[in-house]
Every structure is written in structure tokens, then in C-alpha cells.
Amino acid sequence: MSRSSALFRVLLCAVSAILLLSTPTMAATASHVEPSPALGTLQIATGPDSSSDGYLEIAPDDYGSWSSAGFGGGGDGFNPSGARGVQEVAFTSGFFLFNPAFGQRELLSQNDTWQAVFPPDTTLTRTVTSPLVASDTNDDSVNDTLNSSFSVGGGMSLSVDLTQTVSSDTPGVSVLEQTYVITNNGGSANVVFVRVLDADLVWGAADFADDEVGTSMHGAGQGPFVFQQEASDPGNTAVTISGAGGDYFGGKHGVEPEGGPPPYNFGTDVDIWDAFGIPTTWRSHIAGVGYDKNGVSGTAPDGSTAPEDGFIGLEFPVSLGSDETVTITVFHTYGANSPAGGGGAPPVPAASYQGVIVLVLSLMAASMAFLLWRRRSAA
Ligand SMILES: [Ca+2]
Ligand SMILES: [Ca+2]
Ligand SMILES: [Ca+2]
């Protein structure tokens, strides 16, 4: 054996030993994720004083969902303008994810009670890759921001970074802003996220069934939005969902839309899940108002049945190319029935602008061709 080959063997052994020692450590590090905080234990709030008008507190999970403590979650609480104090708002609030072409779906929520509403489904999986971390961004000693990451696997491969921040707006109004930065690690996919809010407001007659749902987005130039509020104190008690999304709906239990079934059910039910998105006849519809129209349902619109549960939703259709990253921002405005705090998202239909440009260029080309033809005809 030459000295060089002996040296080579020694080096090889050393490298192998280093690899053997380091590999398990690296694997353990890569697979180690701290457990998520127990639901409802990590809260963000707009400030230290819950007795001030506009105070908002929320304890969402790693996926940006939350729900009433009575339904297995950590809820939200809001103090509207006026004499009323903090009350819980949401029975459930969260995101559904659908890939309709492939029959894939997932409720992005940690709440086992909510998950149990749906039959077992393994078309998609979800995993928290970095649990919630809270921070105080305005130095008032109260956490106002949460950061987390999760992945969606099974039939897709998405990695998502989520930032959730609460802030005060005008007096009596606060905003939760949720930013989902979604990276598609798999093949291209046309997916739809449906944000749902089954609010149960009890500021008025302590009755969740007298809530009304509505929109005033048409002609407002603020993009799509939909709200739920106490009919007895509109605006102050409203929660508005907004963002650069697509269709909305506002349902009241028992009302069948003019376009046909399914009738609106309870807010936390299987209809959206079964339809792989907002049911066709619910799109851009408010119970008791109609399609593509501004208005509010009132407490018990025609066709509603007791208990007249109210709930709202807004979809975010996303075309995800392979290796593409897309950002969805969802706003919940508390204390106003229109978006606040940057929550207004005037639609920027890039395709339409492109369409207008193509039309103008086509008209210019046609005019030039016509002029040339006339010159040649004259000559
Ligand atoms: Ca703070
Ligand atoms: Ca409700
Ligand atoms: Ca109510």
C-alpha cells in the first residue's frame, strides 16, 4: 500500500465518521418542530385597556383560524363604540382550501371540534412547520403580531408563511390583517381559498339569530367586502371581511337563494365543504337582498327559519404556477361595515387592462390599415 493511498483511507474514514456523527443530528434538527401553543393561549390585542372603545383581542391558531371557546378554540373579543363592553364575535372563523379540479380540500384549522364537522378526508394534509411566535411591534407591552408557517401536502405541496397583526384605526374601529405568503413547491394548480366568518353577535338582545348580513361594495371602489352586524347598532357592531378576492356571500339560516339550492344552513356547516367552494347559487348573494346588490338582510329575511343564524364569506381564487409564490391578504375590520385600515382592496383586474390595451392597439392597427387602403384606392 502506498503512503498516498493510506492517507486517502485515513481521510475517507475521518470524513465517514464526521458524516455518521453529523447526519443523525442534522436529521433530528430538520424534523424537530416545537409544539404549537394550546388553542387560545396566545393572544394578540390592540392595547392594554379592554374597556376602551375599539379594543380588539384575538387568539388565532397557526393557520389563522379561531373559534369560540365553547367550540374548542380561543376566540376573539371586541369592544364597540358606545356603552357596550367586550363580547365574543366569532363562533368560527377560518380558511378553507380547495383544488376543485382534483377533488382536494382542507380546512386550515387546528380545532378538532370544527374538523369533526366534516367526514374524514385525506385528499390534502396540513402540518405546522413553525408554530406561532408573538411580538409587540408598537412597544405598548401587549403582543399585536403573530408569525407562523405551515405546509399543505398530500395532493399538493405548498409552504405558507403567515403574519397576523391587529391594529387600531379610527376611534372604535380595529383591524386584523392576515398575510399568507404561499409558495407552490409542486405542479401548477388553480386553487381557491374561502374565508368564512360565522359570527354570533350578542350585543343587542343577546341573540345570535338577530344578526344581519350585508354588503355595500357595489360602486364603492374598495374591492369585494361583506359584513355582519347587530341590526340594532349597525356599523359600531359590524365585522367586515375584505381583500383582493372574488365572490362573497352573506347567509341567513333557511333562506334559499333566488338561483336555487342549497339553502343557507348554519354558519358552521358542510355546504361549502361539499361544494368545493362557495356554492354556485350563493355567489355575490346576500340573503333577503339578492345578487350583485347592496343591502342588508334584516334580522329575519323571507324564507329564513329559526334560529336565523347569520354568516359571511369571501373567496380568494389563486392560480399557482410551479415554484410560484403568491400573497393573499385578508382583512377583518371590527367596528365598521366597510373596510378600514388598508382593508379596502380596489380590484386591479390585470387581465382587463391587458384587454383594453389589446383593443386599443387593434383599433389603431385597423385605422392605419384602412387609411393605407384608402390611399392605395385613391392612387
Ligand atoms: Ca403592541
Ligand atoms: Ca352566526
Ligand atoms: Ca345578535
195-253 tens-digit pLDDT: 999 999 999 888 999 999 999 999 999 999 999 999 999 999 999 999 999 999 999 99
Ligand nearest to the CA of 91: 2
- pLDDT at position 378 is 61
Ligand nearest to the CA of 134: 1
Task: Judge whether 90 lies within some domain.
Answer: yes
CB neighbour class for 118 (10 Å; exposed up to 12, middle 13-18, buried from 19): middle
Mean pLDDT for the stretch of residues 90-100: 97
- Between 70-79, 218-227, 291-300, the lowest mean confidence (pLDDT) is in 70-79
123 lies in some domain: yes
Assess if residue 20 is contained within a domain: no
Q: Count the neighbouring beta carbons within 10 Å of the beta carbon of residue 220.
A: 15
**What tens digit of pLDDT does each residue of 149-206 get?**
999 999 999 999 999 999 999 999 999 999 999 999 999 999 999 999 999 999 988 8
342 belongs to a structural domain: yes
On whether both 205 and 57 belong to a single domain, the answer is: yes
Let me know whether 165 and 54 are in one domain.
yes
Distances (CA, A) of 247 to 176, 279, 283, 336: 21, 11, 6, 20
C-alpha cell at 143: 403582543
Q: Are residues 230 and 356 in the same domain?
A: no
- Both 333 and 187 in one domain: the answer is yes
CA distance 223 to 181: 20
CA of 28 to the centre of ligand 3 (A): 50
Residue 275: pLDDT band (50, 70, 90) is very high
- Smallest-distance ligand from the CA of 46: 1
- Which percentage of the chain shows pLDDT scores above 70? 84
The residues, any chain, with a CB within 8 Å of residue 297's CB and separated by 6 or more, are 212, 213, 214, 250, 252, 255, 286, 287, 288, 289, 310
341 with 362, same domain: the answer is no
Average per-residue pLDDT for the chain = 89
Number of domains in the chain: 2
pLDDT confidence of residue 245: 96
In a domain? residue 22: no
- Which ligand ends up closest to the CA of 205? 3
Q: Cell digits for 328?
A: 393573499
Ligand nearest the Cα of residue 204 is: 3
188 in any annotated domain: yes
pLDDT at 73 over 60: yes
My answer on whether 274 and 359 are in the same domain is no
Residue 21, domain member (yes or no): no
20 falls in which pLDDT band (50, 70, 90)? very low
Residue 5 has pLDDT above 60, yes or no: no
CB contact at 8 A, 353 and 189 = no
Please tell me the distance between residue 252's alpha carbon and the centre of ligand 2 in angstroms.
8
Q: What is the pTM of this model?
A: 0.84
For residue 294, being part of any structural domain is answered with yes
Distance 137 CA to ligand 1 centre (A): 5
Same domain, 378 and 276: no
pLDDT, residue 96, reads 98
Question: How many angstroms separate the alpha carbon of residue 122 from the centre of ligand 2?
Answer: 28
Give distance in angstroms: CA of 106 to centre of ligand 3.
Answer: 30
Q: Which ligand is nearest to the CA of 200?
A: 2
377 and 231 in a common domain: no
Q: Does residue 340 share a domain with residue 368?
A: no
CATH at residue 225? 2.70.98
| Domain ranges, residue 223 | 44-348
The verdict on 168 and 306 lying in the same domain is yes
One domain, residues 278 and 376: no
Asked if the model's pLDDT at residue 138 lies above 90, the reply is yes
| 372/299 same-domain check | no
Given a cut of 50, whether residue 3 has pLDDT beyond it is no
The per-residue pLDDT for 142 is 98
326-to-104, 155, 179, 182, 196 alpha-carbon distances in Å:
19, 19, 10, 5, 20
Q: Which residue has the higher pLDDT, 295 or 16?
A: 295
